[in-house]
Amino acid sequence: MSCLAQIEDPRRAGYACRHDLEEIRAIAVCAVLCDVNSFEDMAFWAEHKVAWLKRFLKLEGGIPSHDTFNRVFRILDPRTFEDAFRRWVGGIVPAVGSGTLAVDGKTVRGSGDGKNGPIHVVSAFATECGLVLGQQKIDGKSNEISAIPELLDALLIKGYLVSLDAMGCQSEIAAKILEKKADYLLAVKGNQPGLQSVLHERFGVAQRHALELAGQSARCSEQSHGRFVWQGFWVASNADEVDTARWPGCRMLGMVESLRKVGDKESEPERRYYISSRILSAQAFASAVRAHWGIENSVHWMLDVNFREDAATVRKDNAADNLSRLKRIVLNLLKVETATASFGKISLAKKRKLASWDDDYRMAMLGITPIHDI
């Protein structure tokens, strides 16, 4: 809340400010933590938690209506909100990163209407600590290329291995990552046909066999719910196959081959190619690739299924962008909390339900010191 307190109040003076802005934001964070996903339900939840909220808030203007929540988050400057979010996250992660920083985009599908398409949000996810470090809203997926450098510029990414899908495979982005004293791992697809052709030739059948003999390959497989997945990973040093004038700092090439079998149906082999500025063993390469895929389960899937982000129909002005950021704040809170140790390991969905049921647990998770007893 000390970080959020630095956000300027965008409302006009007078009756429009009868509800304290910090209290509105505090209620919003508490409500989303308690399994609430919309502005309407924020007000409904707060009306039934007045006694608890008054333990640490004055609420001189009473409980804000759902229209007030909606209006405030519509006009709240998303850039200053994002700056506050990054300051807060910066206080709970190491100054020098480690592991993989997965950068990927997600479309908030319910935020579109007849005139405007849905917003698209690019997030940076530190896979080792499981936290979203920042996000950048863009008007459409096609503009993701221009948003990624802006997001990276605003973050302290020193020491990370920054992984991006094919959309982010751009020489300017590779140079930006190196400039920030990090390394890159870029997926290569058809948007870079020349580079893809070079990698396809480098990882032919004979070449893969030679890499296996040299110990530069790894395997993994998993089976669950009737589906079997096999993956092979190969790495090779860049021996001038990839032009470092075009792709600065490129030192390693990689390939992943995947096979899936569901019942009696087996898929065709799928191959994906990568370049990296960091020399990785085959096992380290496999871990980094799989860590990047984890953003789908740890962030995108979680926001869609548990936070109902795609189902949200908030559309006007900055509301969708700010509500999305609010949900990422709570997602980070759920990842770092330790108050459920006595319950054993429980899912993030159950943590939200527990927060909605148990006042003491909610207080412990948020680190709130009451100013009034019930």
Is 332 within a domain? no
Closest CA to 182 of 213, 205, 151: 151
Is 325 within a domain? no
Dist. CA 184–CA 274, nearest whole Å: 10
- Reply yes or no on whether the pLDDT at 28 is more than 70: yes
The CA-based dihedral angle spanning residues 233, 238, 242, 244, taken in that order and rounded to the nearest 10 degrees: 130
Query: Is the domain of 135 the same as that of 280?
Result: yes
pLDDT tens-digit readout, 323-344: 988 998 899 888 887 766 666 7
Query: Is the domain of 170 the same as that of 218?
Result: yes
pLDDT of residue 228: 87
pLDDT tens-digit readout, 259-291: 988 877 888 889 999 999 999 999 999 999 999
Contacts of residues 42-50 at CB distance under 8 Å and 24 or more positions apart, as own/partner, are: 42/66, 42/69, 43/68, 43/69, 45/356
Both tokens assigned to 18:
């009868």
Q: What is the CATH number of the domain that holds 183?
A: 3.90.350
Instruction: Give whole-number Cα distances, 373 to 1, 50, 52, 55, 339, in Å.
Output: 21, 13, 9, 6, 21
Question: Which residues is 217 bridged to in the sheet?
Answer: 234
Query: Is the domain of 293 the same as that of 239?
Result: yes
Is 275 within a domain? yes
Comparing 343 with 360, the larger pLDDT belongs to 360
Query: Is the domain of 118 the same as that of 252?
Result: yes
Query: Is the domain of 72 the same as that of 90?
Result: no
Dist. CA 43–CA 23, nearest whole Å: 12
Comparing 116 with 101, the larger pLDDT belongs to 101
- Reply yes or no on whether the pLDDT at 372 is more than 80: no
Is 68 within a domain? yes
Comparing 313 with 164, the larger pLDDT belongs to 164
Query: Is the domain of 346 the same as that of 283?
Result: no
Query: Is the domain of 133 the same as that of 220?
Result: yes
pLDDT tens-digit readout, 162-195: 999 998 999 999 999 999 999 999 999 988 999 9
Query: Is the domain of 61 the same as that of 107?
Result: no
Query: Is the domain of 129 the same as that of 251?
Result: yes
Q: Which domain holds residue 255?
A: 82-305
Is 324 within a domain? no
Comparing 226 with 11, the larger pLDDT belongs to 11
Is 209 within a domain? yes
Q: How many domains does the chain have?
A: 2
Query: Is the domain of 72 the same as that of 88?
Result: no
pLDDT tens-digit readout, 105-139: 887 776 666 666 777 888 899 988 888 998 888 76
> Which residues are CB-neighbours of 303 under 8 A, at least 6 positions away?
106, 309, 324, 327, 328, 331
Both tokens assigned to 31:
């409500």
End-to-end CA distance of the chain: 23
Mean of all residue pLDDT scores within the chain = 88
Query: Is the domain of 195 the same as that of 133?
Result: yes
Asked whether the beta carbons of 168 and 186 are under 8 A apart, the reply is: yes
Is 265 within a domain? yes
Query: Is the domain of 201 the same as that of 222?
Result: yes
